[in-house]
Amino acid sequence: MLYGSGQKKIELGRGRAVGGRWGRYVLAANLMLIVFSVGLSVGYLVLNNRTAERGFMVRTVEKQIADLRREADRLDMQVVAMQSMGNIEGQVGELGLVPVDELDYISAVPAAVAIR
């Protein structure tokens, strides 16, 4: 706005556009744009939060998988140790087993089959 001595006030474009016939439409469009922008921002935050939450869940499951693999490796080593010859020979006496002196093999006679 321009002011001077003896000059009247001149409004530049803005007062006329807002107060005129299209003013309500411009205001409604601006409000819709603001609501749309806020909605997009909230949507982005929700998606980002959900992605971060699932990332933590994946990390937790990966840690559980690693723990289970370590446990499986430990159990495999325990099985190998239990099946070792030294361990078996140590348990022979405890279980009361005796060594075999002589082996006898039985040969099976071929079986006769009737054919029609």
pLDDT in tens, 39-56: 999 999 999 999 999 999
Residue 110, in any domain of the structure: no
60 falls within a domain: yes
pTM equals 0.48
| Integer CA distances (angstroms), 49 to 37, 42, 56, 62, 111, in order | 18, 10, 11, 20, 75
Buried b (16+ CB within 10 A) or exposed e, 58-85: eeeeeeeeeeeeeeeeeeeeeeeeeeee
Query: Residue 105: inside a domain, yes or no?
Result: no
Residue 44 lies in a domain: yes
3-state secondary structure of 12: coil
Pick out the chain residues at pLDDT < 50.
1-2, 7, 9-10, 12, 14-18
Is 103 inside a domain boundary?
no
Could you list the residue range(s) of the whole structural domain that residue 52 is in? Answer: 14-95
pLDDT score for 104: 83
Q: Kindly state the tokens that stand for 20.
A: 């005129």
Number of domains forming the structure of the chain:
1
Residue 1 in any domain: the answer is no
Query: What span, in angstroms and rounded, lies between the C-alpha atoms of 73 and 24?
Result: 73
Residue 5 lies in a domain: no
Average pLDDT, rounded, for the chain: 82
Asked whether residue 114 is assigned to any structural domain, the reply reads: no
Question: What is the Cα 47 distance to its own chain's centre?
Answer: 15
